[in-house]
Amino acid sequence: MGLPRAAAAMLGAGLCILPGRASAACTINAVFQVPVTLVRGHPVAPVQLNGKTLGFTVDSGASYSSIDQAAAKMLKLPVRMTQDNVAMTGVGGMTVPDITTVEAVTIAGAQFKNMPFFVQPLSGMNLLGQNLLGYADAEYDFPHAAIRLMKPEGCNDANLAYWAGPSQGVSVIHLESSRTDRVDSTIGPATLNGRSIRVVFDTGAQRSVLTLAAAARAGVNPDSPGVVPAGSMYGAGAQTVKLWMATFASFKLGDEEIKNVRLQFGDVQLGGADMLLGDDFFLSHRVYVANSQHKIFITYEGGPVFDLASKPLVQDAPDQTPREAAVPTIDGPEPTDAEGYARRASVYLSRNDLEHGIADLSHAIELAPGDPKYPFQRATARLSNKQPIQAMADLDHTLKLAPRSTPTLLLRARLRLTEHDNAGAVADLNAASAVAAPQDDLRLTLGEQYRAAGRQDLAITQYDQWIAGHSDDGRMAEALFGRCRARAFLGVELDKALADCNRAGSLAPKMAGVLETRAMVRLKTGDYARALTDYDAALAALPTDALALYGRGLTRLRLGKVSEGQADLAAAAAIQPKVAAQAKAFGLSPS
């Protein structure tokens, strides 16, 4: 790929493990052991770049490590074009990154010199990839919020699942890659509904996902019975990928088989693999990737494997009704400091075990009352636990400790919006906007929340700044649509609004709301015939859209189709009694 390998000087950790099932001659030495915090399921580790600490997602599915443009700019790193026409492939397609070299990278005491990083346009793309993780064996211990880079000695073909007791099953699968100089990805065999598939172990992905082709070979397509839409995803590459969810009879990896498993699938690009095993898999397993043996050792540690939104069902006897299984507590020694409790809480919360997660965060707050990140984390957990009053108290406390915390301001603004406190929400959004960089990624969220608060004028300014700095971002259609809608509601720059809606529609042809918003623009500009065409198409997709019905009614009235127009207005009011007042606020009325 035309990229230099990192030269590594090991300063670390001195941990020596004697595997219980291996011969006495086998030892495993830790290059480093780093505690991680699971943020929305992703393992985030503190990493120093030239002395500056940043949070990095540990991404076993990335060939190379990367940072985002904002981080490169902040660190004043020289950025250059890649050589040899290098391109990165992700679930959203292909992108051509720039590259930089970081003089000193330090992780848990281990230092790596002159390490190459791709530079990504997507915000938050600080990733540790296989040019680091493939240097040695990698152990992913999400159940205990840790990741370890290991160097075995004298182990040959020994079982390297050193933590497993005599009664714990260990699945062993063979890695497809046999290269010893660099490991591009971690791929192994599995079966789905009895069909062989290739799975890539990817700690950078929140949820596991199948390709369309793999699902089809297993007998499942988007139009199959029981298949439901599952939203969309994006990553490296500018395209947003639509997903579906289906039940598959069997998924088998090594000696472990899961029956009647719910999995996502979509038109994802996985570089020849059939399935991506994401964080929802790692949260319930301990995984040792033995690059030294070209094997993977896996143990099941408890909890749901893929469906993190619900607890697994158990049945004590054949004639009994299945009941929810208790979520297993995390074994191991009790944490001794606030950070330890917070890391364990992140594991519980990623498993949707809110009770234990909130309890651990409360311990962290007691041990470190001046640290703002713990009440913020407890606020997000309490919101998930449907405790808005307690969450608001935590957010208020967080902002007393850190008044300029933009994530806290944004979350409190969102909570205030749900309580119809638009003025309070706008005050929080103004405070967040004042401390954000001009093209900060959070300006997309600011635009959306200003729109929700009824400040379309301020929303347009946020969208302008975000769009100017994110030309290759997979969320461009979302931003263009938001700006089109804000202009349409205000009735300003309608020619620009039309251009935004047209471009959003070309980037995401099935995006909800684009046709109805473009119809509103055309109605306001007097292009009634085209407005009617757009309203008809919008209502064909969503017949119960009250605002679209009301807009079509007005359009038909303008075209002289009085009876049809009145019928639409009546139908809209039947669905949403206040639709006339809502439309009037947007400048739409019969007179």
- In angstroms, the CA 3 to CA 25 distance is 37
Q: What is the pLDDT at residue 307?
A: 67
SS (H, E, C) 88-123: EEECCEEECCEEEEEEEEEECCEEEEEEEEEEECCC
pTM of the predicted model as reported, rounded to 2 decimal places: 0.74
Specify the range with the lowest mean pLDDT, choosing from 173-177, 450-454, 568-572. Answer: 173-177
Percentage of the chain lying above the pLDDT 70 cut: 86
Q: Between the CA of residue 436 and those of 406, 427, 509, what are the distances in Å?
A: 8, 15, 32
**Total residue length of the chain:** 591
Which tokens go with 219?
Answer: 């007998």
What average pLDDT does this structure show over 26-42? 84
Query: For residue range 522-549, what is the model confidence (pLDDT) as tens digits?
Result: 999 999 999 999 999 999 999 999 999 9
Percentage of the chain lying above the pLDDT 90 cut: 56
Which helix (H) or strand (E) segment holds residue 84: the answer is: none
Find the DSSP H helices in 9-68: none
Residue 555 has pLDDT above 90, yes or no: yes
Asked if residues 131 and 273 have their Cβ atoms less than 8 Å apart, the reply is no
Query: For residue range 255-293, what is the model confidence (pLDDT) as tens digits?
Result: 999 999 999 999 888 878 999 999 989 988 999 999 889
Q: What is the pLDDT at residue 94?
A: 53
pLDDT level of residue 312 (50, 70, 90 thresholds): very low
Hunting for tokens 């379309």 — which residue is that?
456
Asked if residues 99 and 80 have their Cβ atoms less than 8 Å apart, the reply is yes
What average pLDDT does this structure show over 488-492? 95
Which tokens go with 102?
Answer: 């970081």
- Expressed in angstroms, the distance from the first to the final Cα of the chain is 65
Q: What is the pLDDT at residue 111?
A: 85
Q: What is the pLDDT at residue 18?
A: 53
Which tokens go with 225?
Answer: 């019975």
Q: Report the SS3 class of residue 484.
A: helix
Residue 574 has pLDDT above 80, yes or no: yes
Backbone dihedral region of 479: left (phi > 0), alpha (psi from -120 to 50 degrees) or beta? alpha
Q: Between the CA of residue 146 and those of 32, 38, 128, 187, 347, what are the distances in Å?
A: 10, 10, 14, 22, 10
DSSP 191-203: EETTEEEEEEE-T
Averaged confidence pLDDT in the chain: 86
Residue 591 has pLDDT above 70, yes or no: yes
User: Which parts of 195-324 are beta strand (E)?
Assistant: 195-201, 209-211, 228-233, 241-253, 256-266, 275-277, 285-290, 295-300, 313-314, 323-324
Query: For residue range 373-411, what is the model confidence (pLDDT) as tens digits?
Result: 999 999 999 999 999 999 999 999 999 999 999 999 999
The 10 Å Cβ neighbour count of residue 538 is 25
Residue 199 has pLDDT above 80, yes or no: yes
Q: What is the pLDDT at residue 309?
A: 56
Q: What is the pLDDT at residue 310?
A: 52
- In angstroms, the CA 79 to CA 225 distance is 50
Closest CA to 131 of 88, 96, 95: 88
Residue 1 has pLDDT above 50, yes or no: no
